[in-house]
């Protein structure tokens, strides 16, 4: 072939291999020269937008990537034809033309890691774009998956929030709150009334002079500072369809029915003929108040001979419900009755339950109904009767614990007998108001003499003692006659009338024992003839109370069944005789050691006979009195051995190890014992029921 032909063929071949011009607009980026060998200045054959790999940002969209990857087939083919094989070696290894080895997951190759060099892989543009595209596709898939998950999660949270709102409405209802094991803070949250209530408009709202908290409520409408007297019906309605501890299986229905029936018999009759229980069936009581049912079952179980098994279960339920009642906003009248029932029989809870009952009653303004009832408004009789019951309950335990009563005597209490003239008054009200009457007298006596037990009653105060004694005599005459006219209850016999006589003896013991207040046996020279007569009257009253219990069958039978007050009478009278005979022999002229032993000994036997009732407090008192009587007899024996020539001397071997001159009269009008029921304990509580509780703990 000639040289001309060769030149033409070479030109045609180069024309065939010449690149097809791209129709894409240039983006203003420079292009790198081809690194193909043998072409030092070859023209650009494939123009891609190239950025500095160290500063390249991932701002391209998938559309831009598709623009490069999905262009016309000829352009794509030509571009790919010029892309060299993928670069896998780093710059350091590539420069030295050695194999670049990288462990799985390692950021550097082995050589760069060993030599501490910077390991950089100069990838070509197509690899960078493909990696960018894959990364963006993966991120889009993850974002889509997250978006779907968030939508699903939001739907589930909306359903859960709706369910929680319904549950919150159910939980904050009074009936459900009564079943909670502990009160929750939101029950007393600072929330406002939703809307005016129909009962809020009353004739009292227009009064100019109101309690300060009433004005505060009207200004703020904060429901948690409001006393809600109308909550009784609302609370009962809300609780009617709420499961109680019987429905929850904590005690069987059959056992509950049995205990409820047991309480309706003798126990209810002793508590003034059913003043505290207005329900005839267990189901009716359950609809009204779980607290009332728990108290009834606990008291009935206390008098059941089953080794205390039923009582242990019922006691826990009563304690839980009473604790919850402390923080509840809504209460019923039966809640208050349940607290009173528990207080009358349960020695370790009596003071707390009675105080809580009084507080709830005042929140419901129960005390205001007595005046309306005495004005003849019979619709207020039920609440007025409950307030009188609370007064008696409060004063029972102010005496037993030696503490001031909570309820003071106002005009509605002083004129309480007007309640008996109302059409709805019954024999149970007569019995209840006999108690109100005597505690009014004892409260005045306490305020006169009992506030400072270390003070010696002066001789010029004896007129007050005589006056109070006359009032007690008038009380005995009046109420013994009234109660004698009542029909005898076959459950308790003639106990109501005989109970008047027992209360009379015990009240006179409390009254006349103040003459020993603040004195020591070594102060016998300060005792006048009149004071000595009063002390002997106290001894006679204590002896008469014990003889009445021992000799009368109705009273002996009442030892297990009556509220705690009768047991405090027995314990106080017994200890008074032991202390007086031991330390005040020269003052008490007609009380011998044999008299004390012959009275207290049978009392102890009677109390010890109640051991079949495992949790009853009576046999614990019997154990304590037995220990005291043994110590008393041991002291008398030692006294006779040491000084037989003068057995009446008061400074001889005393009852305990302390010298006689250091013994204060710690029983004088203490309204229960100080350190008398010791039973060898290391410390002595300051009241009778506290002493009993410490013994039961032993």
Instruction: Give the number of other Cβ atoms within 10 Å of residue 191's Cβ.
Output: 11
223: pLDDT confidence band, cut at 50, 70 and 90?
low
Would you state the torsion angle of the CA atoms of residues 258, 263, 265, 268, taken in this order, to the nearest 10 degrees?
A: -160
What pLDDT score does 31 carry? 40
Helix (H, G, I), strand (E, B) or coil at 39: coil
What pLDDT score does 532 carry? 92
The answer to whether residue 57 is domain-embedded is no
411, 491: one domain: no
Would you state the torsion angle of the CA atoms of residues 591, 595, 597, 602, taken in this order, to the nearest 10 degrees?
A: -130
Helix axes of 309-325 and 253-262: crossing angle, nearest 10 degrees: 90
What pLDDT score does 657 carry? 34
The answer to whether residue 2 is domain-embedded is no
C-alpha span between 552 and 495 (Å, rounded): 10
355, 397: one domain: no
**Where a domain ends, among 347, 364, 381?**
364
C-alpha span between 418 and 425 (Å, rounded): 10
Which neighbouring-strand residues pair with 493? 489
Yes or no: say if 302 and 313 are a contact pair by the CB < 8 Å rule.
Answer: no
What pLDDT score does 450 carry? 74
270, 283: one domain: yes
Q: Give per-residue burial for 528-561: e unless 16+ CB within 10 Å, then b.
A: eeebbebbbbbbbbbbbbbebbbebebbeebbbb
**Where a domain ends, among 302, 333, 364?**
364
The answer to whether residue 359 is domain-embedded is yes
533, 638: one domain: yes
401, 501: one domain: no
Q: How many domains does the chain have?
A: 3
The answer to whether residue 405 is domain-embedded is yes
C-alpha span between 501 and 476 (Å, rounded): 7
The answer to whether residue 313 is domain-embedded is yes
Yes or no: say if 572 and 688 are a contact pair by the CB < 8 Å rule.
Answer: yes
635: pLDDT confidence band, cut at 50, 70 and 90?
confident
The answer to whether residue 105 is domain-embedded is no
Lowest mean pLDDT among 366-370, 400-404, 615-619: 400-404
C-alpha span between 370 and 593 (Å, rounded): 50
Greater confidence, 202 or 273? 273
**What are 397's two structure tokens?**
């335990």
The answer to whether residue 437 is domain-embedded is yes
449-468 pLDDT, tens digit per residue, is: 877 878 899 999 999 999 99
251, 352: one domain: yes
**Where a domain ends, among 315, 335, 364?**
364
328, 416: one domain: no
Of 88, 611, 693, 108, residue with least CA distance to 350: 693
Q: Range of 374's domain?
A: 368-455
521-567 pLDDT, tens digit per residue, is: 888 777 899 999 999 999 999 999 999 999 999 999 999 999 998 89
Of 238, 224, 242, residue with least CA distance to 187: 224
Helix (H, G, I), strand (E, B) or coil at 192: strand
Yes or no: say if 449 and 669 are a contact pair by the CB < 8 Å rule.
Answer: yes
118: pLDDT confidence band, cut at 50, 70 and 90?
confident
**Residues shown for the chain:** 698
384, 441: one domain: yes
530, 648: one domain: yes
Compute the average pLDDT of residues 17-45: 42
Residue 204 has pLDDT above 70, yes or no: no
The conformation of residue 264, written as its DSSP 8-state character, comes to: I
215: pLDDT confidence band, cut at 50, 70 and 90?
low
Of 434, 438, 440, residue with least CA distance to 480: 434
Instruction: Give the number of other Cβ atoms within 10 Å of residue 387's Cβ.
Output: 23
Compute the average pLDDT of residues 673-696: 39
Lowest mean pLDDT among 78-92, 480-494, 499-513: 78-92
Helix (H, G, I), strand (E, B) or coil at 60: coil
The answer to whether residue 447 is domain-embedded is yes
The conformation of residue 22, written as its DSSP 8-state character, comes to: P
Dihedral sign of CA atoms 370, 372, 378, 382 in order: negative
| Percent of the chain predicted with pLDDT > 90 | 47
559, 414: one domain: no
509, 444: one domain: no
Start-to-end CA span in the chain (Å): 132
216, 287: one domain: yes
What pLDDT score does 64 carry? 43
182: pLDDT confidence band, cut at 50, 70 and 90?
very low
């Amino acid at each position: 072939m000639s040289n001309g032909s060769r030149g033409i063929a070479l030109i045609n071949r180069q024309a065939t291999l010449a690149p097809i011009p791209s129709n894409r607009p240039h983006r203003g980026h420079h292009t790198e020269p081809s690194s193909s060998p043998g072409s030092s200045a070859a023209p650009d054959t494939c123009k891609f937008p190239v950025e500095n790999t160290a500063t390249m940002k991932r701002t391209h969209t998938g559309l831009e990537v598709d623009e490069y990857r999905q262009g016309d087939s000829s352009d794509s083919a030509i571009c790919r034809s010029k892309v060299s094989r993928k670069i896998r070696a780093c710059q350091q290894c590539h420069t030295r033309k050695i194999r670049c080895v990288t462990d799985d997951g390692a950021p550097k190759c082995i050589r760069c890691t060993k030599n501490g060099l910077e390991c950089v892989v100069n990838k070509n543009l197509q690899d960078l774009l493909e990696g960018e595209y894959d990364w963006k596709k993966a991120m889009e898939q993850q974002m889509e998956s997250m978006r779907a998950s968030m939508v699903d999660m939001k739907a589930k949270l909306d359903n859960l929030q709706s369910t929680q709102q319904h549950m919150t409405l159910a939980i904050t209802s009074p009936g459900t709150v009564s079943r909670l094991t502990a009160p929750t803070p939101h029950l007393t949250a600072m929330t406002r009334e939703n809307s005016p209530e129909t009962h809020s408009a009353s004739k009292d709202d227009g009064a100019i002079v109101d309690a300060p908290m009433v004005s505060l409520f009207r200004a703020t409408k904060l429901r948690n500072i409001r006393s809600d007297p109308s909550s009784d019906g609302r609370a009962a309605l809300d609780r009617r369809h709420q499961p109680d501890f019987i429905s929850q299986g904590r005690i069987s229905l059959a056992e509950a029915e049995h205990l409820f029936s047991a309480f309706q018999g003798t126990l209810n009759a002793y508590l003034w003929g059913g003043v505290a229980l207005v329900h005839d069936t267990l189901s009716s009581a359950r609809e009204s108040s779980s607290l009332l049912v728990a108290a009834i079952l606990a008291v009935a179980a206390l008098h059941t001979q089953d080794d205390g098994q039923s009582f242990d279960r019922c006691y826990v339920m009563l304690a839980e419900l009473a604790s919850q009642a402390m923080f509840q906003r809504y209460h019923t009248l039966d809640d208050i009755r349940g607290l009173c029932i528990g207080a009358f029989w349960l020695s370790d809870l009596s003071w707390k339950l009675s105080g809580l009952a009084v507080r709830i009653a005042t929140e419901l303004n129960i005390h205001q109904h007595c005046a309306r009832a005495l004005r003849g408004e019979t619709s207020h009789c039920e609440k007025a009767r409950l307030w009188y019951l609370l007064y008696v309950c409060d004063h029972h335990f102010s005496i037993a614990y030696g503490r001031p009563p909570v309820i003071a005597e106002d005009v509605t209490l002083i004129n309480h007998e007007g309640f008996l003239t109302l059409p709805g008054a019954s024999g149970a009200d007569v019995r209840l108001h006999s108690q109100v009457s005597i505690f009014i007298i004892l409260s005045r006596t306490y305020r006169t003499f009992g506030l400072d037990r270390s003070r010696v009653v002066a001789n010029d105060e004896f007129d007050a003692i005589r006056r109070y004694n006359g009032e007690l005599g008038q009380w005995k005459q009046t109420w013994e006659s009234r109660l004698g006219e009542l029909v005898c209850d076959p459950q308790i016999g003639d106990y109501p009338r005989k109970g008047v006589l027992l209360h009379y003896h015990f009240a006179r013991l409390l009254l006349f024992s103040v003459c020993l207040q603040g004195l020591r046996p070594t102060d016998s020279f300060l005792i006048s003839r009149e004071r000595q007569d009063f002390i002997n009257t106290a001894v006679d009253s204590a002896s008469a109370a014990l003889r009445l219990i021992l000799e009368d069958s109705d009273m002996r039978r009442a030892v297990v069944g009556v509220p705690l007050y009768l047991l405090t009478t027995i314990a106080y009278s017994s200890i008074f005789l032991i202390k007086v005979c031991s330390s005040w022999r020269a003052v008490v002229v007609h009380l011998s050691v044999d008299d004390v032993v012959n009275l207290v000994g049978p009392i102890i036997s009677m109390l010890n006979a109640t051991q079949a009732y495992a949790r009853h407090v009576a046999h614990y008192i019997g154990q304590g009195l037995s220990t005291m009587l043994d110590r008393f007899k041991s002291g008398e024996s030692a006294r006779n051995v040491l000084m037989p020539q003068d057995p009446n001397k008061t400074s001889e071997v005393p009852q305990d190890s302390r010298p006689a001159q250091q013994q204060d009269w710690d029983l004088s009008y203490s309204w229960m014992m100080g350190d008398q029921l010791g039973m060898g304990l290391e410390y002595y509580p300051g009241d009778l029921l506290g002493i009993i509780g410490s013994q039961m703990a032993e």
